[in-house]
């Protein structure tokens, strides 16, 4: 059996610099009030008790928040997919890059993090600011039931 390994040298063969064209001018940036309003709405929709966050991609290895507990979890009805075309950072309009997101169907294993007790809307807002920046992305934010 042959083992494969991803080395810095192999990654360097794939790297290409792309100038950032900036945000899509047809999209509407969220302002501080928009983030606060969305965070408050999502906080009100959340279950009572501590705030748990499901991570299935970069939040696993780079959560950028403090957690007090973590568990393996599965989201049924969703699967990981490189389905987001990226025309900034990882690609261009001529050659889009791909980013992972969840698509309907299947199952997705991940990690749930329990955040410290505190101001739930502020915790949700911090996560929103990490993950989205425009009104057009709001529809992708949702609470998911998971199984531990």
21-79 pLDDT, tens digit each:
888 888 899 999 999 999 999 999 998 889 999 999 889 988 888 899 999 999 999 99
70 pairs with which residues across the strands?
A: 113
| Separation in Å, CA 63 to CA 14, 20, 72, 111 | 26, 25, 15, 11
| Separation in Å, CA 49 to CA 22, 25, 52, 106 | 39, 40, 9, 28
3-28 pLDDT, tens digit each:
778 788 887 887 777 777 888 888 89
131 is catalytic: yes
What is this structure's pTM? 0.79
Set 45, 64, 117, 131: catalytic member: 131
Within 10 angstroms of residue 124's Cβ, the number of other Cβ atoms is 25
**CA 5 to chain centroid:** 26
């Amino acid at each position: 059996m042959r083992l494969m390994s991803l080395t810095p040298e192999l990654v360097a063969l794939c790297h290409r610099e792309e100038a950032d064209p900036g945000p899509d001018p047809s999209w509407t940036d969220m302002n501080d009030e928009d983030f606060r309003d969305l965070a408050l709405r999502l906080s009100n929709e959340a279950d009572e008790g501590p705030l748990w966050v499901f991570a299935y991609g970069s939040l696993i290895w780079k959560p950028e928040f403090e957690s007090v507990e973590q568990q393996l979890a599965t989201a049924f009805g969703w699967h990981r997919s490189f389905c987001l075309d990226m025309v900034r950072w990882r690609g261009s309009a001529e050659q889009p890059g791909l980013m992972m997101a969840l698509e309907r169907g299947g199952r997705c294993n991940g990690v749930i993090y329990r955040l410290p007790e505190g101001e739930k809307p502020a915790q949700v807002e911090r996560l929103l600011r990490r993950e989205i920046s425009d009104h057009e992305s709001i529809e992708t934010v949702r609470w998911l039931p998971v199984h531990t």
